[in-house]
């Protein structure tokens, strides 16, 4: 059982690191606000593999743009 847990956790961290590298080279881009938890050092590694949304609420300008479309 311990080996299964280690493989799952290791795979999770490996995918997170791969996505972080892809973001560094411009293949992915986060659209979160500057105050989002995923912008903090250390936590940004898990930005792309966190199981639920982490985007902050849209600003007034973003809401106005969404209403126009």
Averaged pLDDT for residues 9-22: 86
Q: Give domain limits for the chain.
A: 2-68
User: What residue spans of the chain are helical by DSSP H?
Assistant: 2-24, 60-68
List, for residues 17-63, the tens digit of each pLDDT value: 888 888 889 887 777 777 777 777 777 777 777 656 666 566 677 77
Q: Is 53 within 8 Å of 30 (Cβ atoms)? A: no
């Amino acid at each position: 059982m311990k080996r299964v847990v280690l493989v799952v956790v290791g795979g999770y961290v490996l995918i997170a690191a791969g996505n972080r590298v892809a973001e560094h080279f411009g293949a992915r881009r986060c659209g979160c606000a500057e105050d989002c938890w995923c912008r903090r050092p250390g936590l940004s590694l898990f930005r792309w593999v966190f199981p639920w949304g982490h985007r902050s609420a849209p600003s007034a300008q973003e809401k106005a743009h969404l209403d126009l479309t």
